[in-house]
Amino acid sequence: MDLLHIPGSRIIEVARLAFATPDVDFLCFGESDQPSPRVARDAAVAALDAGATKYPDVRGLPALRAALAAYLTGLHARPVSETRIQVTASGMAAMNIALTAVVRAGQRVVLHEPEWPNIANAALSRGATVETIDLIALEDGRFRLDLDRLDTMLAGARAFVLNSPNNPTGWTATLAELQAILAICRRHGVWLISDEVYSRLIYDDTPAAPSVLDVATPDDRVIVVNSFSKAWVMTGWRLGWMVLPEGARDAVTEIVEVTHSGVAPFIQQAGIAAIGDTATVAAFRAHCARGREMAGAALSGLNGVRYAAPVGAFYAFLGVEGLRDSLSLAKRLVSEHGVAVAPGVAFGAAGEGFLRVCYAQSAERMERAMGRLRDGLRAEMAAR
């Protein structure tokens, strides 16, 4: 058949095996087992009862756009006007719309790896040529982006997609690194698309990770995408947003119109309620911090395992000495040890040799699942 074909998800491959296997703890998906905020659920029900089921303003409800602008202005170093906000049906929709807006067939898009695979697939679906720059894996388990290498790669490119805090590694760009990245993009005339869906899940006692919104001007070739999915525990709601250059929204709204024609108004009402619920974000970050501690304790002292607690996001990304087939290992962990984790190769070639664990789970699940993972990794190393 004459259909577009993009690579399948190795995470889904592991998950399907896990679904068919009794008594498996799921740590392979990028979501928590915690419920969405009560205020968001109540707001959605009230909006449905009030008949908020008609076509919405494709730009997003004015109240949500205003709330997002105020939220971002309070969170970051530079103000964000409502005229730059576009509401989307998820962060992934925002990424697709951003790529549709700026990338044409045959143009180069540069990504850093390991990276969430949907972004590369979205660029490929636009007909772009995707090139990757590997995050450098350090001996202590941390990661680093080579800015000199990035500078070289961005010559002649159309766009650079940044993800910080990063899924899967937890690498988080510093403010100085963001300033340098922006300067490189400006010098080469490259669009910077910044995926900041994990921006509030940071573990250094600051309210948010450093953001491109802290350093860019409204006139820069910068698009920031974000979502309610992670910080507000609203993965299934499919509600996101974009921050666009000043004057660009009307053009992007037309792309939204032909892509998904706006977001259900009762979902947007839930978003308005969630933004006002600052306690949920703080509580969820504390919840993830406990999971991070439990992951670190379980992985500590394991021979052949390289791991450092991440700065941001909610994943443990651990290197396994001598591992050449992370997908096969992930499947053995399901079948033989009852725990599902994501194979590092799912995040690009640079992820091979690693496993990703989502630690945004209840303490009970984490204790049981990390015990199973620890046993599985010990068995793996003993068998070599």
Q: Which of 328, 383, 323 is nearest to 352 (CA)?
A: 323
Q: Are 318 and 299 in contact (CB under 8 A)?
A: yes
pLDDT at 1: 60
Instruction: DSSP for 206-256, please give it.
Output: SSS---GGGT--TTSSEEEEEESTTTTT-GGG--EEEE--TT-HHHHHHHH
In order of their start, the domains of the chain are: 10-36+279-382 (3.90.1150.10), 38-277 (3.40.640.10)
Sign of CA dihedral 234, 348, 1, 105: positive
Question: In angstroms, rounded to a whole number, what is the distance separating the alpha carbons of residues 252 and 101?
Answer: 7
Q: What is the pTM of this model?
A: 0.96
Question: In angstroms, rounded to a whole number, what is the distance separating the alpha carbons of residues 346 and 11?
Answer: 6
Where would I find the beta strands (DSSP E) of the chain?
A: 25-26, 85-88, 108-113, 129-134, 136-137, 143-144, 159-163, 191-195, 222-227, 240-243, 305-306, 315-320, 339-340, 342-343, 354-358
Q: Is the peptide bond before 7 cis (omega within 30 degrees of 0)?
A: no
Model pLDDT for residues 304-326, shown as the tens digit of each residue: 999 999 999 999 999 999 999 99
Model pLDDT for residues 192-242, shown as the tens digit of each residue: 999 999 999 999 989 999 999 999 999 999 999 999 999 999 999 999 999
322: its two tokens: 């001598």
Q: What average pLDDT values come out for the chain (384 residues) when binned by 10 residues?
A: 80 96 96 97 98 97 98 97 98 98 98 95 95 95 97 98 98 98 98 98 96 98 98 98 98 97 98 96 98 97 94 97 96 98 97 98 97 96 84
303: its two tokens: 């021979």
Please enumerate, as own/partner, the contacts of 327-334 that have beta carbons within 8 Å and a separation of 24 or more. 327/10, 327/13, 327/14, 329/355, 329/380, 330/10, 330/14, 330/28, 330/355, 331/13, 331/14, 331/17, 332/376, 332/380, 333/372, 333/373, 333/376, 334/14, 334/17, 334/18, 334/21, 334/24
Amino acid at 318: L
Q: Are 332 and 259 in contact (CB under 8 A)?
A: no
pLDDT at 94: 98
